[in-house]
Structure 1
């Protein structure tokens, strides 16, 4: 008599043997499969490096003391330029030599230690932590005048290497905020000891090249100035040295 159970077992064994290679292949495929995941690692940002400049202003005039210069390092914004309407901050320098508000602009700033007499120089140091902000603006008043000032606007210094010096000479500008009457009551300098800043504006309304001093010697009766107070351009020389 045939053992049905034994025959079925043989069939099961055969079936198991036939399925085993497929199971092994399937397992082998799973074990060797590789998954590659790309992870973008952000570039390391270097810390900001301090950058320092020495700015030396030399007075080239005969009898025009300069107010304490304002030195500002800033971004791409422009603090003053020919043809623009002067800001109140610049007007305070051009009419009264007061740079307090002007120095509150920009990334870093420094003011002079006092007036610069004719023929003298003064060095001002200023430091920033990012060379990309190294645009330089300077402003200082010719104090024996109504609203004459000089300086430089928005000069980029980012390419200046440590130890290098940039030299430039600059003319006199008129802020266009006060009429050039040259009267004693309207000028703050030692030649007149009159008023400085006045919020009322009564001139062209825009920054331009200064037309110069007329003086009482040359036909302006109300002028408190003499021919000694006249000036030729340039009125200052600027040395800018990167020290760090």
Structure 2
């Protein structure tokens, strides 16, 4: 895993401005797969998993989802606690670089995989180009027996879909299914305005509001909060809750051990 790989994903995701750039997004997004790290003796006891993530919402596209295999001591996020830098940047800006840096720095993280494209509900115009579901190959070892999943809810200020520290299947051909909920990172005020959202929000909705949006955090909107279940779209800004709102769960994550 390298910072370059994660930065490339960020640039292509956040580089959208208008529907005309969607084709470029499809061609430019790259996947990131990090194989299981060697154990303390330099050996590997590799396990391979097929992880399928499906967007269950009708109006919220996801950034390319990231899945992490890790030991139980790793916690990407926790309800009631402040969001880490990795979750803050993902939830506000769709930025995967801090997540990559976290994975590199922790030997307890045993494998990471990131999808190639955003996941777009079939009800939205961009679904003609992007799928609502994707399948990833995740490599880990017997010590990395837990899975976490995160993906930004693109049409929000700091919302994300998440699954925290669930067991991976033990036996080959064993599979498990998990539902993921929506969370508010508690790091940015929920204005629900396109000018405060990442540019892909408008592009994936097929809308041109006349504002560019932003892929960086705005200090004026900073919120010193904690991770909480997301309250959804309430209609205070540019988004109609009837179109862009959702009910939990927002994602289905299916995991099968293949080897």
Asked if TM exceeds 0.5, the reply is: yes
The answer for unaligned runs of 5 or more in structure 2 is 1-40, 104-108, 123-131
Q: Match of 2:85?
A: 88
The answer to whether 1:202 aligns with 2:222 is yes
SS state of the match for residue 94, structure 1? helix
Larger radius of gyration: 1
For 1:199 and 1:68, the matched residues in 2 are separated by 23
Contact 2:194 2:238 in 1 (8 A): yes
The whole-number CA distance in structure 1 between the counterparts of 2:173 and 2:65 is: 23
Mapped pair 1:126 → 2:138? yes
Correspondences of 1:127-166 after superposition (within 5 Å): 127-128=139-140, 130-157=141-168, 160-166=170-176
What CA distance in whole angstroms lies between the structure 2 residues aligned with 1:163 and 1:74?
20
Partner of 2:197: 187
Q: Which structure 1 segments of 5+ residues have no match? A: 1-44
| Deviations, residues 27-57 of structure 1 (Å, cap 9, x unaligned) | xxxxxxxxxxxxxxxxxx9x53210111111
Alignment partners' CA distance in 1, 2:157 and 2:170: 36
Q: Which residue of the partner structure matches residue 249 of structure 2?
A: 234
Partner residue of 2:28? none
Larger relative contact order (Cα-Cα within 8 Å, sequence gap ≥ 6): 2
TM-score for both structures, normalised by structure 2: 0.69
RMSD over equivalenced CA pairs, Å: 2.0
TM-score by length of 1: 0.73
Residues of 1 paired with 2:187 and 2:156: CA distance? 12
How many residue pairs were aligned? Answer: 192
2:232 counterpart (184, 205, 212): 212
1:12 equivalent in structure 2: none
